[in-house]
Chain A
Amino acid sequence: MVKKEIEGEWIHGWPDRKRPRPEVFKDAEGRVVSARTPILELEGLITPTDATHIVAQLQMPEPIHPEDYSFSIFGEVDSPRNFNLNEVRNLPGRTVRAVCECAGNDQDFFEYLENSDNISKPSFEVSEDERTHWKHQVNTNRNAKPDADALFEAIPSTCHISGGEWTGVPLAELLNLVGIKSNSVAIRVEGWDEGRPDPTTVYRSANRTDFEVFDPGIINYDKGLPLAKALHRDTLIAWAHNGEYLRHVFGAPLRLIVPGWAGNWWVKWIHKIEVMDHMPDCYHQTHYFVSGLSPDDPKKEMMTALGVKSVILEPRDEPPLLKRESYVIRGLAWSGEGAITRVEVSLDGGNTWSDAHVECSTDRWLWKRWSYLWKIEKSGNYQIMARATDEKGRMQPQTEWNFQHKHFDGIVPEDITVI
């Protein structure tokens, strides 16, 4: 393997190892509106805040100062009311560590696994160049459909995942305070970020442009959270991230934390919470982030919890040459329904499997580190794979192919050549 030299930078006046930096995408005014995590450079479980991925489905809103901020809880409640930041912060709180993964993370691996001869493998490398976000490069013309291949090239689909620590109050606590009625079914959480959903996003997700995408006009971002998950003690309204007040790009002053469920559930910039007696028709769970085998599939459903997933961080086949010696295969594993209990490694493309060492951790929703000592004996080509199992006995992969290519959790082999 071509050994990467350790790069340095000055930190607090001292020479030090270079810190992981995300790949950022900016708007026309130079403000970061999107970022990808340098997952290959991470060493622990909590992704440093500066390296955490950033996404805004509609668009980044303008910030609201904490002293000018309040949100309302209303609907099927006994005492609808407003809260300001201090009032929320004064409630009995919790800190939860969890992985936040975008539904579309690694989506191109679906196609890759089907067609690895013709499609280049999606890369986990991130670049240090600052780029302009595609939404700010061209005016999307609603009358002309974008070129599917061009989209594929222009918008990378990996590295939209981070591990973080969230401090906040359980949503259940807030709902308890206002008293939810017995007919409540879902909690609709809405942010003040608004925009007109761009069909390009759905086309990129589906990798095809030959269907119509519903146009709801200008909407606020919202999600209708099923009551059971809303009342789970780990579902939080958080004001702090990794030990500091939430940053604007992550949804300040308050965002929803839904451990185990895809990132699009973690509503940012909360300004309304509505308790409803039916599941609402939110665009981002009725038209986007839905399962189904095609755009016309009548059995389309909103997608919620992630599958069971592991990734191999080293060695990777970018580049693939190893010397014949002992090597430690390392990676991360996580599940949308709880803690990982087992990770297995195969050196022969999935024929035989052995247990890897999984690091002990009590954080149910955070990914775990695993490792496997590989004593290489013979030169040759190896196909290395990893598969994870969670506390509910679910084994990787769990996600069925869906036309929007969401929640990818397939087993991706690394093709390693030992010389």
Chain B
Amino acid sequence: MKDAVNILVLVECDQGLPSSVSLEVLGLARRLCDKLESNVVALALGNGLEKVGESLLTYGADQVYMVDAPIFTSYQADAWLPDVLNIIESNMPGVILLGHTTTGADLAPRIAFRLSTSVAMSCIDIRQQENKFTFTRPCYGGKAHEVSTFHSTQAVATIQPKTQDPISPNPKRKGPIICVKSVLDPKKVRTKIVKQVVEENNVDALVNAEIVVAGGGGMKGPEGFRLAHELASTLGGAVGASRVACDLGWCPASYQIGLSGQKVAPRIYFAIGISGTMQHIAGCSNSKVIIAINTDPDAPMFKVAKFGIIGDCHQVLTALTKAIKNIKS
């Protein structure tokens, strides 16, 4: 299609491979471009990206740019922006997409403002009408959805993890993989990463788990989480929490699922002793099946749950774990 709008996807890499959320964004871009008959351009910045190019083509990119240098090992806005803007300028994509991660949420607004436009953050869907795009995102703590368009010719958006599917990998896909020389002047980077502490936390396990057992205020203390861990390990799942439980110190902060926490989309989500604020539901609403367990029959969590048990969290957890162990034996 002539004058078709290309979509640029900014890819984050993790240990030499594209991150899972980047593949999700790529999948979305691919589906949109298929309708538009236009191109998906992927841009990856990082250190040690040899395997990345092929992977991106496999997952839907038509063209891949890579800027590979040690300075891109970790994200810093001042370091990444010059090359990102350089590629944008030479390609003039109509839409620029990033995954909504600490990197994407930081970088996307800056890209938008350099292009003198604004950005749709943490979108759950993008639709296309001719050459215009509409961006759907949750707001008001997840209680409402808004749909927006932009006046500008270029639009920037971040995509919420676990809302889009990657395409089925197609190793037959071919396209140019271009290694670009960085235009960055390192002296112009105004921030310095002095220390990085990688916490041995369960975030990856949580975000990728098929079964999640999450606890909230009804857990009444760390003891409840011990029971949650027992159930989770019996089922081969991971443990998460609502913000209340994390703020009270009953479990590590990295367990938090919600608007300002992790987004998960497991096959089964146990919400135990979680009242169900929209901010929390925003983090688990893409789960296939939600099971709510609470003493309060009016808890909003029951409104989004497929199955529910009204009962004491500790007792039900213990009973469930025992019952499953019995089945297994």
A–B contact with Cβ pairs below 8 Å: the answer is no
Which B residues lie at the A interface, using CB under 8 A?
none
